[in-house]
Amino acid sequence: MDGKRPGVLWIHGGGYVTGMAEMVYMSRAVDLVTRGGAVVVAPAYTLSLKKPYPAALTECHEALVYMKDHAEALGIRADQIMVGGESAGGGLAAALCMYARDHDTVRIAFQMPLYPMLDCCDTASSRDNHGKVWNTRRNHLAWRLYLRGLKGGAVPAYASPSRREDHSGLPPCYTFVGELEPFRDETLAYIERLRAAGVPAEADVYAGFYHAYDMMHPEKEDAKLAAERFIRQFQLACERYRAEQKG
């Protein structure tokens, strides 16, 4: 493994509806490369306006498998493949951890779903939220578009990871979320379920942060503190966690 680096699949946000892979250049993934020494892959998955669930998940999973299968060429440690993303990208990262575990396709060493979009139903923090960048109205519309291909019945956990009950065997996790964030409660619930299943998981909650605050105001001292805490958690994960691939 000498000379190889951790590999991170970093998935952009945008409520599954908007966004682009190039958003990686304004995300926390930049620090993963410049300070964490990681190789970052940013998939340009199909947005829900064109194709609803499961298109985005399927394409991100294909990118994850590509990383594993081409780890040598990419200079990636096969035992340190990680996933992360912000907002809907965080939701996809969590869903990928579940899908990859259940199907034993890629063994993920660590997950970093930042203020992830996990719950298609209202929570106390996403209900009647009028915050900047993302709010209840936008959240409802985004979920309707993403899930419109489902015809009745229960929403699967691969679409809305909050539906998941069994969190055992999922990768260790770090995230942060804003106090004013619509996704605050679903993020913290996800962390608590991981912990209850014996999975190392930690979340920081930042007072005064609304959705994507760290990306909107990278010059502010509190955003810099969040970024510093994030990269430190990634560095610790690189020291602590490995996930050997099967075969």
Class of 5-240 per CATH? alpha beta
Structure tokens at 34: 């410049």
The DSSP output letter for 155 is P
pLDDT digits (tens, 9 = 90+) for 197-222: 999 999 999 999 999 999 999 999 99
Average pLDDT over residues 184-196: 98
Q: How far apart are CA 11 and CA 136, in angstroms?
A: 22
Query: Exposed (0-12), middle (13-18) or buried (19+): which is 236, by Cβ within 10 Å?
Result: middle
pLDDT digits (tens, 9 = 90+) for 2-24: 679 999 999 999 999 999 999 99
Type of residue found at 171:
P
